[in-house]
Amino acid sequence: MKRSILTTLVFLFAACSPGYYQLQDKVNGSTEVLNYEYTNSYYVSELRNTHFTVNVLLLEPYVVSFPQKNFGKVHSSGEIDAVAICDVSIRADGSVENYVIKKSAGVGLDRYTRELLNSMKFKPLSYKGSDYPSKFRIVLHYTK
Amino acid sequence: MKKIIITALFILATTLLSAASIGGRIVDANGRPVAGITVGVDKIKSVTKTDADGKFFFDNVKPDYYNIYITHPEYGTTIQRVKVKRNFYYEISIDKAVYETDPAMAHYNGTLFSSDLAITQKDIQTYPGRGYGDSMKLLQSLPGVGGGFTLATVPIIRNTDTLYNKYYIDDIPIDYPYHYAAGVVPLLSSINETIVDSVSLHKADAPVWTGDHLGNTIHITTKSPEQTGYHTRILLDPLYPAMPTVYASAVPTKDFSVVTAVRRSLVDYMVDTKYTDSYFSDFFAKAAWNVNIDHRLTLMANISSDDFTYGKIFTKSGYSLYALKWDYLITEKLLLKTAVSRYEMSQYLKNDKAVRGKSGAYMNYAPVQSRLFQSIHFDLSRFMLSGGYELVNHSEGVKGNIDLAGLTSGGLLDKSSEYTTTEFPIEGTNISLFGDVLADFPEFWVEMGGRYENNGVIKDNLFSYKGEAGYRFNRIAEFYLIHSRSNAQPDMYYFMQLDNAVTSGGAASSDSSVNNFKAANAINTSVGNKTFILPSVFFQGEIYYSVFDNLNPGLLISAEEDSYRKAMQIHPFSEEIDGTNLGMELYLKGYYQRYSGWVSYSISKTERSNAYDDSFESEFSQNHIFRALGAARWGKWEPSLQFNLYSSLPYTPDGSDEKNSDRRGIHHRLDGKVNWYMADNMRMYLEVWNMYFNQSNLVTEYGSSNTLIYDAPFFLWVGMELCF
């Protein structure tokens, strides 16, 4: 019985190579803190997950304000359907830095495209709690 | 001791087996190493950064499957799934990230929702109802739109004869964009899903620039490229009619774009049969060129054809449509639209078997419509003026070597008809003038428009109009009243009954009333409400009343069997002439987080009369129609359901005074679909029809035939979409 217990303990000890219970955090230098927390089994899983998520999760930018305006009354009456494709550079504060129209909607709609892009607001790209500039491709579909 | 040795050996072996690693090198699009990229491995929850050589390394990992996260604000996040057996090493190339979202809809009216009742390409992808390639089947889920049975493809709008539906593809009119089996049974629309941006519906409120309808029009807006560069989509429907679609889009410059889609059934290649052969094909191409900031030219071609051969019997049907559009913004407040188009519809039937020494019977129907359209739109602040003209020249016509009476009674098939010469042109020019005034104020609007048409084919003057008034409440709700009169000129089947038909072997029809042909007309009135209950929930309710006159001058083809009447859908079996419609429609559409869907309910009552009966229910009537659609998105999975509940169509025995109001039954069924977005460029779907259904027979035991007509049973198929 004693031998069996001893054998089991030896097996468990040996099988647990350091790579499996120590988090090799080479990003933030917080290995010690995390390793300390690892010894408290209650927090291990949650901390590991949080640490991993914080490092790999990147919150993509998105449009938070897209002003709907009454515009293009003649386009509406003429039932003009058009698509514009634009690449927008977004600052870290979510404002539009500049843009390039990659596909023009035509029929005089480019002026509305510029107007819309200039008044759009974005949630900037966010990574590890900080905001970053980014590039965003937006497709504007003009329709009745 | 022995146990300790065995244990030690086991541990050693385990350790050796576990001694795996993950390493790699990250480079940019030019092959240069990228330093400082965060790399994480999911199961070990470990992260690192690439060094100056772009390299990363994780040791002490177990052999297993891992997701490797590669993250950087400038390059975005890439997730790769790898299988690690021992030492895994690979090189990966990453590009700078350009983030995207769904297209932002910029509605001219400044609301989040389109003002039109419509389905979109996304709806067609998401919900069951696309069927075996029919992009317009889903129209039947909108309020006021009925359908006869599971495979019915032609929408019945507010209980009116489907012959009076008018279709527009990017504002270019077309009569029947459907594929036919054996030249007569519409099976699926010839506008395939990949080119559909949206299909919107006007019910009794069609704009005055449109003509030849009873107020109901279907507007197909085709897709414009939403990606730069060159892209291809392949849509595979492996079951009959095995009909792959290849779609391609190109945006070579910012001012020029092309979309094209080709589809053809492959059954005739895959199955070699001795007596039967058939195929369907359609082609669509659209090139748009912004000549400068204010001019846009669009060239469009749409060709559809189907062949069906059974022994010596041969049918060929289809159409070709070519159009050139020119949109010109003269000033910021003045727009000119011009369109030139040519539309040829073709129905060709032939029996090659020689009879009584003659070479075989045929009938070729190929009318051509050449159209010039111009409209001008003038913005006067609170007022919008628009007007224009339309010239439609009809030419060509019908040729054959049997008489029409023989054709309509099946003479072509059984060769019993007398051989003769049938030839009559469908000629004339329709000249239309139209104008519209819209007074638009923040809280209310009034619109009035009229259209005058000198119809050179039926030699008649037609006047139609539309008036609309509405009140807006806080930009989230509006109440409206619409009153209109519409005229429908005869289409291909009606032309065959004109008194100018030149036949030397028999009358065009056995009914002499066709000699006094007049256009059908409808007077429609509706009141309704549109409300955004929440920013993402839209409600519409409408009550309508319509009065019809001259609906059908006489029967062209007799069909006692309901199964024929049901299957052929748009053919003029109906003998109804005058009548009324009264109904109410409710529609609720919305989305919440991962869920979306809509519910529609229509209740209606129709009264019709003809030469035999002064009061019966239209055979296109469905008193109750209820549809509920719902979809949800969980990661890569998107299940959806569509529940249908509706009255069966009360088909009218022709030439009989039998009333049919007691032959309706409530039919209900449940369809389902699951989309699996396997990757950014790959989607698989499973569609199941009639998962649950009740009363599969649409019509039972009428008259003396005791016919029991079954709807389609439970069936399913799998499809796939690939994007490049």
Sketch out chain B's domains with CATH numbers: 2-93 (2.60.40.10), 117-723 (2.40.170.20)
B359 Cβ contact partners less than 8 Å away, ≥ 6 residues apart: none
Residue A29 CB-density burial (10 A; 0-12 exposed, 13-18 middle, 19+ buried): exposed
Q: Kindly list the structural domains of chain A, giving each domain's residue range(s) and its CATH number in brackets, ordered by start.
A: 2-56 (no CATH), 59-142 (3.30.2420.10)
Beta bridge partners of B434: B388, B451
Note the pTM of the prediction, 2 decimals: 0.85
Q: Which residue from B595, B550, B557 is spatially nearest to B576, judged by alpha carbons?
A: B550
Please provide the size of chain B in residues.
724
Instruction: Give the closest-approach CA distance of A108 to chain B in angstroms.
Output: 5
Residue B474 CB-density burial (10 A; 0-12 exposed, 13-18 middle, 19+ buried): exposed
Asked whether the predicted pLDDT for residue A12 surpasses 60, the reply is no
The average pLDDT across B335-340 equals: 96
Instruction: Give the closest-approach CA distance of B92 to chain A in angstroms.
Output: 17
Query: Which residues on A lie below 8 Å from B332 (Cβ)?
Result: 74, 108
Handedness of CA B165, B168, B171, B172 (dihedral sign): negative
Q: φ and ψ at B129, to 5 degrees?
A: 130, -15
Q: Do A143 and B11 touch (CB under 8 A)?
A: no
Q: Are B404 and B422 in contact (CB under 8 A)?
A: yes
Per-residue pLDDT of B647-674, as tens digits, reads: 877 665 444 444 444 455 677 889 999 9
Q: Do B375 and A78 touch (CB under 8 A)?
A: yes
Q: Do B40 and A77 touch (CB under 8 A)?
A: no
Stated as kind and residue range, the H or E segment containing A74 is: helix A73-77
Q: Do B106 and A137 touch (CB under 8 A)?
A: no
Instruction: Give the closest-approach CA distance of B36 to chain A in angstroms.
Output: 9
Which A-chain residues 28-47 have CB contacts (< 8 A) with chain B? Answer: none
Asked whether the predicted pLDDT for residue B510 surpasses 50, the reply is no
The average pLDDT across B159-167 equals: 88
B375 Cβ contact partners less than 8 Å away, ≥ 6 residues apart: A78, B209, B336, B337, B386, B387, B388, B434
DSSP B453-499: EEETTTTEEEEEEEEEEEEEETTTEEEEEEEEEEEE---HHHHTT-T
Q: Do B108 and A78 touch (CB under 8 A)?
A: no
Q: Which residue from B596, B723, B683, B682 is spatially nearest to B225, judged by alpha carbons?
A: B723
Per-residue pLDDT of B200-257, as tens digits, reads: 999 988 999 999 999 999 999 999 998 899 999 998 876 555 788 999 999 999 999 9
Q: Which residue has the tokens 């109750």?
A: B624
Per-residue pLDDT of A23-74, as tens digits, reads: 555 555 555 445 544 455 555 677 777 778 888 888 888 888 777 666 778 9
ipTM: 0.82
Which A-chain residues 106-135 have CB contacts (< 8 A) with chain B? Answer: 106-108, 110, 112, 116, 125, 127, 132, 134-135
Asked whether the predicted pLDDT for residue B10 surpasses 90, the reply is no
A55: three-class secondary structure by DSSP:
helix
The chain-wide mean pLDDT, for chain B, equals: 82
Q: What's the pLDDT score for residue B353?
A: 67
Q: What's the pLDDT score for residue A63?
A: 84
